[in-house]
Amino acid sequence: MRKGNISRRGERSFRIKIELARDPADGRRRYHLETVKGLPSETRTEVKARAKVRLVELLHQMNKGEHVERSTATVKGYVGSWLENPAGLNPKTAERYRQLAEAQIYPHLGHIELQKLDESHLQDWHGKLLASGGKNGKPLSARTVGHAHRVLHTALARAALGKKVFRNVASLVKPPKVEEKEVVILTADRIGDMLSNIQDHPLHVPAVVALGTGLRRGEVLGLRWQDVDLDAGMLQVKRSLGEAGKKSIPLQERLYFKAPKSAAGRRSVSLAPFVIEALRMHRRAQLELRVALGLGKQPDDALVFANPDGSPMSPDKLSRDWANLVRARKLPLVSFHALRHSHVSMLIDGGLDVFSVSRRIGHSSASLTLSRYTHLFSRKDSEAVAAIEAALTR
């Protein structure tokens, strides 16, 4: 059984010292040393109590053979090494993680030894980011701080699994609370006018599909004709098109197809007649263009929305082109992704229950749908109360 003790190191800090096995090379005694620092709100007694709990926890881990060998690897060294080849992350997510690490993690925590990172470091880090973590020292939003925290949490979870650290300290400190903003939508009375206004534009049919199915941008661009059955009025969501990498890299090297994030994302979606008609016309025009260009018969895996040569379109360019289109034609300033939100709004207005809405749009759970669109469901609930009141008082 290992032995350990606690000694006071400062006004509100205590050092844990645990005896380890002798060094096999020279026989010298080794120790595990760890300092528990007090938080601003803690008294010395509270810090000491926390240090005692930590000592018991460490002894328990070590006696079970879970001792972590001492390492001087820094946060930047470990996180940077992981992000060079982040197995399990899609390219877009990996790119975003690297951006967050470079901008928000390394400047503040990068120099700290991974095994010495504690709760006080993370609390100070959150405060600094919220106060001046943005570009040119501007405050950073709670949402972005939360994203940076998630990157660190993921890295530390991997480190804990590999026994590089005793625990994931990021799981002990909650990121700042994010005030959810209402999603921006295109109201029902404006949808018809918008679609009529852009009927001559190449983005008309993609917009019809997004509004009529609730598919995400990448899901719209990942559709193949073999995934669409116009006679049955149904399409299958099997994959999504993503884009990641520096703009200096050729476009087709930045594009990649990925499977849905969850089983719920792989789904069947029924099509309204106006969507079917738009897709029929689009397919006819697409085939006529191929003939005119001398490209011959479409391959079996031909994309529904593609460049003239059949190659995938850039998701980022689609968003930029959409933004330019609505500004140029003085239409409601909603993003292409907002068409998905508008679809959900129409479903809720139509009285569809949350479970059916969740399945149709590919959310992993109904609770996610409720949290994302709570203001829309609340509005329907208020209408229900008004209807009951009217029925009982007439």
- The CATH number of residue 294's host domain is 1.10.443.10
Residue 181 lies in a domain: no
Q: What are residue 34's phi and psi, to 5 degrees?
A: -150, 135
Residue 177 lies in a domain: no
136 and 240 in a single domain? The answer is no
Average pLDDT, the chain: 89
CA-based R_g, the chain, Å: 28
Counting the structural domains of the chain, the total is 3
Predicted pLDDT at 392: 47
22 and 128 in a single domain? The answer is no
- Confidence tier at 312 by pLDDT (50, 70, 90): very high
pLDDT tens digits for 129-170?
A: 999 998 889 999 999 999 999 999 999 999 988 888 878 999
State the residue for tokens 């330019």: 324
- Confidence tier at 275 by pLDDT (50, 70, 90): very high
Q: Which of 102-106, 208-212, 261-265, 369-373 has the least mean pLDDT?
A: 369-373
30 and 110 in a single domain? The answer is no
Last residue of a domain, one of 136, 171, 206: 171
Predicted pLDDT at 197: 95
Q: Which of 111-115, 142-146, 183-187, 373-377 has the least mean pLDDT?
A: 373-377
Predicted pLDDT at 336: 96
227 and 347 in a single domain? The answer is yes
195 and 287 in a single domain? The answer is yes
209 and 303 in a single domain? The answer is yes
For the chain, helix, strand, coil in percent to 5 are: 55, 10, 35
| 60, 66, 70, 73 alpha-carbon torsion, rounded to 10° | -120
- Confidence tier at 372 by pLDDT (50, 70, 90): confident
Q: Which amino acid is at 98?
A: R
Highest mean pLDDT among 63-72, 183-192, 369-378: 183-192
* CATH code for position 104: 1.10.150.130
Q: Which of 11-25, 97-111, 356-370 has the least mean pLDDT?
A: 11-25
pLDDT over threshold 60, residue 386: no
Predicted pLDDT at 163: 82
What is the rounded distance in angstroms from the CA atom of residue 291 to the CA atom of residue 283? Answer: 12
Residue 128 lies in a domain: yes
Domain extent for 121: 75-171
- Confidence tier at 385 by pLDDT (50, 70, 90): very low
102 and 30 in a single domain? The answer is no
3-state class of 190 per DSSP?
Answer: helix
What is the rounded distance in angstroms from the CA atom of residue 168 to the CA atom of residue 117? Answer: 9
Last residue of a domain, one of 171, 199, 233: 171
79 and 50 in a single domain? The answer is no
98 and 164 in a single domain? The answer is yes
Q: Which of 5-14, 103-112, 206-215, 371-380 has the least mean pLDDT?
A: 371-380
pLDDT tens digits for 172-212?
A: 999 999 877 767 788 878 898 999 999 999 999 999 999 99
Residue 158 lies in a domain: yes
Q: Are 340 and 185 in contact (CB under 8 A)?
A: no
Q: Are 339 and 205 in contact (CB under 8 A)?
A: no
**Residue 329's CB: how many other CB atoms inside 10 A?**
11
223 and 303 in a single domain? The answer is yes
The percent of residues above 70 in pLDDT, for the chain, comes to: 94
Distances (CA, A) of 363 to 64, 91, 311, 360: 41, 21, 29, 8
pLDDT tens digits for 344-365?
A: 988 988 888 899 999 999 998 9
196 and 154 in a single domain? The answer is no
Last residue of a domain, one of 171, 198, 216: 171
Predicted pLDDT at 67: 67
Predicted pLDDT at 66: 66
pLDDT over threshold 80, residue 47: yes
- Non-local CB neighbours of 223 within 8 Å, separated by 6+ positions: 209, 215, 235, 237, 303, 304, 305
pTM above 0.75, yes or no: no
Q: Are 361 and 264 in contact (CB under 8 A)?
A: no
**Residue 383's CB: how many other CB atoms inside 10 A?**
11
State the residue for tokens 């460490």: 58
81 and 43 in a single domain? The answer is no
Residue 34 lies in a domain: yes
Residue 394 lies in a domain: no
Q: Which amino acid is at 283?
A: R
Predicted pLDDT at 388: 44
pLDDT over threshold 60, residue 391: no
pLDDT over threshold 80, residue 235: yes
35 or 65, greater pLDDT: 35
pLDDT over threshold 70, residue 382: no
Question: What is the DSSP code (8-state) at residue 105?
Answer: I
Residue 392 lies in a domain: no
Structure tokens at 103: 């901008």
Classify burial at 327, counting beta carbons within 10 Å of its beta carbon; exposed 0-12, middle 13-18, buried 19 or more. exposed
- Non-local CB neighbours of 268 within 8 Å, separated by 6+ positions: 234, 235, 236, 237
353 or 392, greater pLDDT: 353
